[in-house]
Amino acid sequence: HLLSAQLLQEEFRVTSGAYSNNMADLGGASTALYNYTVSASGNIYPISASAATGKSQAQDMDCLSLGINSQGDKSPLLCWQQ
């Protein structure tokens, strides 16, 4: 969902001239396993996913929160190397 949201963010910018601050524009604010947030400012945006409480991903202490930004930087890198 994070990579899809990143692509939708770029499409949003092409059509509207700015990045979105609303996850509804980028595929939705949550799934069964993660809650998503975005915060755009100028030409920069981070998109984050936080493991939903009580789900199996919440047990992975190293990867409770994942992120990607407008530069394609991913964090934590350990969690993206699978």
pLDDT in tens, 21-72: 999 999 999 999 999 999 999 999 999 999 999 988 899 999 999 999 999 9
Contact 5, 36 (CB under 8 A): yes
pTM of the entire structure? Answer: 0.89
Contact 12, 35 (CB under 8 A): no
Neighbouring-strand partners of residue 66: 49
* H or E stretch covering 5: helix 2-16
Query: What pLDDT is stored for residue 35 in this prediction?
Result: 95
Distance CA 19, CA 11 (A): 9
Distance CA 48, CA 66 (A): 6
